[in-house]
Structure 1
Amino acid sequence: MEQFETIIIGGGQAGLSLSYFLTKLNSGHVILEKGDIGQGWADRWDDFCLVTPNWSVRMPGYPYQGDDPDGFMPRNEIVAHLKAYADSFGAPVRSGVEVASCAKTDEGFVVRTSAGDMSSRNLVMANGAFQKPYLPNGAETLPDTLTQLTLGDYKSPGALPDGNILIIGSGQSGVQISEELAMAGRPVTLACGRVGWAQRRYGGKDIVWWAERAGFYDHRLADLPDGARLAGNVLLSGHHGGTQDINFETLQGQGVELVGRFLSCDGQVAQFADDLDASNQFSNDRFNDIRNLFSATAEKIGEAVPEFSGKTKLKGTPRTEIDLTDYGAALFTGGFRPGYDSLLPTRGAYDNQGFPLQTDGKSDVVPGLWFLGTHFLRNRGSSLLLGVGKDAEVVAAALTGKPADQLG
């Protein structure tokens, strides 16, 4: 059985960031990736791109390398960037090795993989902030004649069956795909929930620039209201070069039919809540919160207070019942949930939502178990390309017992 000081599961930005620091410290480790480097990004749909600008891609020791810092990398460029990063320091990645399960032992861990069993003193779960697609209540009532897809199944408008498309979930992915389908001439119905929206740019600067200066990504989960962990990110898009806002009003203007929250189906008839106006009001309220935050930030740092758009306004009366006979597919875009317990099902190691109970990446329950890239691991930036490197530095120092000043 192969033995390692540390086994890292996942060859994305989290696993690679930690590997960078462990390599600097000459700490033995291996990265196990069931696909290839950056597979989580490669699995996104064909026209996927970042919603954060390229200058905010900050892998430790390897800032953005291209000539378009204010642009938004498409899927394939993200993957290429991560592969170049891994090559830059010789990351010990084993691609095509799938982890089936992990078990705690007195000495550490046994990891059962498609390439045989391996053992380690430390185990780091860096396999993504979320792993399991989320299906809403009532999903099981959709008719079997309707093709049903999760977010990971969607690739392009042309790959979907003929007919109208029902999208259930109005977070960033749901609205971006709705826009993409509408622009391709596909009739789309979007079942909307409560999610905020924001302008892409304020006073000529990207929203991420303002959010950093406002300390937004430094927010810790304990300082935020209950439910913040699963709250949807504000609606943004990197498409069109990041020059256009995206929200319920812009989608409606592109021909997307907006309805309320999906409830259930009775035969071929889908039923939706009469809450679209309430969801749009929620969206505008979050827009106002951001406006107030950035106004205060501008005054604090000596910037001119930027101009702000007005609230979104919707037209017409949304339907609450829709016959799905002419619909070809339903696409669930309500996001994902954690799946760490499927690899290491340890009692008491995770909360009731499946997130690890941990402190700065170190499990509160299982000695030698670490996490990285988890949503709100340390703060709001923990799962993002702009923040995961900071967490990796903290985890590397604690895992090895080496002073943080050796990692700079």
Structure 2
Amino acid sequence: MSPKTTHYSVIIVGGGQSGLSMSHFLQQRGIDHLVIEKRTLVHSWRSQRWDSFCLVTPNWQCNLPGWSYQGDDPHGFMVKDQINDWLAGFVEQVQPPAIEGVTVEKVSRAGDADQFTVQTSAGSFTAGQVVVASGGYHKPVVPRMAEKLPMDIVQYHSAQYRNPAQLPEGAVLVVGCGQSGAQIAEDLHLAGRKVYLATGNAPRCARFYRGKDVVDWLAEMNYYDMPVTQHPLREGVRDNTNHYVTGRDGGRDIDLRRFALEGMELYGLMTGLDGDELEFQPNLRENLDHADRIFNGINASIDKFIASRGIDAPPGEPYVPVWQPDRERTRLGLRASGITSVVWCIGFLPDFGWVDAPVFNGRGEPVHLRGVTGQPGLYFLGLPWLHTWGSGRFSGVARDAEFLAEAIASAGAIVPPVERARQAHAA
């Protein structure tokens, strides 16, 4: 669409599931607004996921406003094409007032005026209030040591990885074992590729335990309703790496130890490159043990819940390691190992440099309470643990968006009836 005006009561920056959820609730309240999307609506689900990608949470948790999962497999895990079809339906249902292919270059207070100036690649707009719904994963992390790798070694970030055939023949080094790293390592391993995996301290969890998906148990335990203010780590939980598990082929655990039994080479944290040799910390055993402690700890909390409620469930037992490293290896020769490609799976950094407002901490992260900042009229939506575990996911963003819509309405952004009639006539 082409904007019919340059001023809106609310401008939403970002057209993913968060921005569209915000648009849904603003439309319900008769609040005029504009969604500005840098690429296309829900773009990241099409462009930043590999071919075999699937959800790691069951389909029943897909619960965007007015658009819940309605398929016949609520306990299954949608694959990439199914997710995008579902999201396309959400876009059609919301029909947001949006402009695509427009980059927001700066958001700032318009002098002493009680409004914001939003400078974009398509010109400037003003708004009474602004919702930053662009997510928190903006800049792919690739360490400087990548520059030292030989020129003939192909390098990708996880956001660029699509499938094993994309990589040249030879062994693959996957760096990082969070959700993306563990699943990409599995994808390559299942395709018969020789994989070297540089691990970190990512946690893991079971897919199924005592007769149900672990997600189902945690939902019954009200874990997904726990606000960040009540979490034992408080805001520190936002720094946690996501647990690795998969929904692939109906869902299963990801056990790096089992991969090692099958020929995957595991190493500790990668720290550098010395000539032709990669360097690692001697902490592989520590990383594996840490992941298993989290795994068993979650299951133990489920055991406690089952016992406290007298629930009839199949018995469970702690995970026992199926493999142990016989020694810590701290060096790996690139040529000797036959590594021809590297996939960096060490995450993303937020980049809110375009938001000119005194609402950030020393790490460039917005300081907020449930998305409401100290700058009147400026809000954030869709960030991990913005309010609950589901805040950055399909399961919780609707609750957050509705909360912010109420905050916006209370701040006086509702369009007066006369102005609404004028806009309707102009349309």
Given that 1:196 and 1:283 are in contact with CA atoms closer than 8 Å, whether structure 2 keeps it comes out as: yes
Equivalent residue letter for 1:344: V
SS in 1 for 2:155: strand
Name the structure 1 match of 2:421.
none
Given that 2:283 and 2:328 are in contact with CA atoms closer than 8 Å, whether structure 1 keeps it comes out as: no
CA deviation string 1:194-246 (max 9, x = no partner): 1222210123221111111223223444433374322212221010111x211
Residues 22 and 302 of structure 1, relative CA distance in 2, 3 Å threshold? farther
Given that 1:235 and 1:247 are in contact with CA atoms closer than 8 Å, whether structure 2 keeps it comes out as: no
For 1:236-315, what aligned pairs fall within 5 Å after superposition? 236-242=245-251, 244-305=252-313, 306-315=315-324
Given that 2:20 and 2:94 are in contact with CA atoms closer than 8 Å, whether structure 1 keeps it comes out as: no
Could you tell me how far 1:248 is from its partner in structure 2?
1.4
Equivalent residue letter for 2:386: L
Given that 1:360 and 1:378 are in contact with CA atoms closer than 8 Å, whether structure 2 keeps it comes out as: yes
Tell me which of 40, 64, 68 is aligned to 1:63.
Answer: 68
Could you tell me how far 1:400 is from its partner in structure 2?
1.0
Name the structure 1 match of 2:331.
321
For 1:158-173, what aligned pairs fall within 5 Å after superposition? 158-173=165-180
Name the structure 2 match of 1:381.
390
Equivalent residue letter for 2:244: L
Given that 1:9 and 1:15 are in contact with CA atoms closer than 8 Å, whether structure 2 keeps it comes out as: yes
Tell me which of 10, 26, 32 is aligned to 2:30.
Answer: 26
Name the structure 2 match of 1:355.
365
For 1:106-255, what aligned pairs fall within 5 Å after superposition? 106-136=113-143, 138-222=145-229, 223-225=231-233, 227-242=236-251, 244-255=252-263
For 1:14-53, what aligned pairs fall within 5 Å after superposition? 14-43=18-47, 44-53=49-58
Residues 193 and 354 of structure 1, relative CA distance in 2, 3 Å threshold? same
* Mean Cα deviation higher: 54-63 or 156-165: 156-165
CA distance in 2, matches of 1:288, 1:125: 37
Equivalent residue letter for 1:327: I
* Mean Cα deviation higher: 391-400 or 63-72: 63-72
* Mean Cα deviation higher: 155-164 or 183-192: 155-164
Greater radius of gyration (CA): 2
Could you tell me how far 1:314 is from its partner in structure 2?
2.4
Tell me which of 342, 345, 355 is aligned to 1:344.
Answer: 355
Given that 2:258 and 2:322 are in contact with CA atoms closer than 8 Å, whether structure 1 keeps it comes out as: no
Given that 1:259 and 1:320 are in contact with CA atoms closer than 8 Å, whether structure 2 keeps it comes out as: yes
CA distance in 2, matches of 1:294, 1:264: 40
Equivalent residue letter for 1:23: Q
RMSD: 2.1
* Mean Cα deviation higher: 315-324 or 290-299: 315-324
Name the structure 1 match of 2:7.
3
Residues 152 and 350 of structure 1, relative CA distance in 2, 3 Å threshold? same
Given that 1:137 and 1:264 are in contact with CA atoms closer than 8 Å, whether structure 2 keeps it comes out as: no
Q: TM-score, normalised by structure 2?
A: 0.88
CA distance in 2, matches of 1:129, 1:211: 25
Could you tell me how far 1:178 is from its partner in structure 2?
0.4
Name the structure 2 match of 1:406.
none
Could you tell me how far 1:288 is from its partner in structure 2?
2.1
Equivalent residue letter for 1:55: W
Could you tell me how far 1:138 is from its partner in structure 2?
4.5
For 1:366-377, what aligned pairs fall within 5 Å after superposition? 366-377=375-386
Residues 108 and 143 of structure 1, relative CA distance in 2, 3 Å threshold? farther
* Mean Cα deviation higher: 315-324 or 194-203: 315-324
The share of aligned pairs that are identical, in percent, is: 35
CA distance in 2, matches of 1:108, 1:328: 53
Given that 2:381 and 2:401 are in contact with CA atoms closer than 8 Å, whether structure 1 keeps it comes out as: yes
CA distance in 1, matches of 2:261, 2:356: 47
* Mean Cα deviation higher: 110-119 or 274-283: 110-119
* Mean Cα deviation higher: 292-301 or 22-31: 292-301
CA distance in 2, matches of 1:15, 1:275: 41
Given that 2:145 and 2:273 are in contact with CA atoms closer than 8 Å, whether structure 1 keeps it comes out as: yes
SS in 2 for 1:322: strand
Structure 1, unpaired ranges of 5+: 404-408
Residues 378 and 177 of structure 1, relative CA distance in 2, 3 Å threshold? same
Name the structure 1 match of 2:418.
none
SS in 2 for 1:5: strand
CA distance in 2, matches of 1:142, 1:118: 45
Could you tell me how far 1:91 is from its partner in structure 2?
2.0
CA distance in 1, matches of 2:116, 2:365: 20
CA distance in 2, matches of 1:321, 1:201: 36
Given that 2:138 and 2:348 are in contact with CA atoms closer than 8 Å, whether structure 1 keeps it comes out as: yes
CA distance in 2, matches of 1:37, 1:241: 29
CA distance in 1, matches of 2:363, 2:261: 37
Could you tell me how far 1:177 is from its partner in structure 2?
0.4
Given that 1:202 and 1:308 are in contact with CA atoms closer than 8 Å, whether structure 2 keeps it comes out as: no
Aligned length: 399
Structure 2, unpaired ranges of 5+: 413-427
CA distance in 2, matches of 1:146, 1:171: 23
Given that 1:258 and 1:318 are in contact with CA atoms closer than 8 Å, whether structure 2 keeps it comes out as: no
Residues 151 and 345 of structure 1, relative CA distance in 2, 3 Å threshold? farther
SS in 1 for 2:159: helix
CA distance in 2, matches of 1:330, 1:196: 22
Equivalent residue letter for 1:393: E
Given that 2:296 and 2:318 are in contact with CA atoms closer than 8 Å, whether structure 1 keeps it comes out as: no
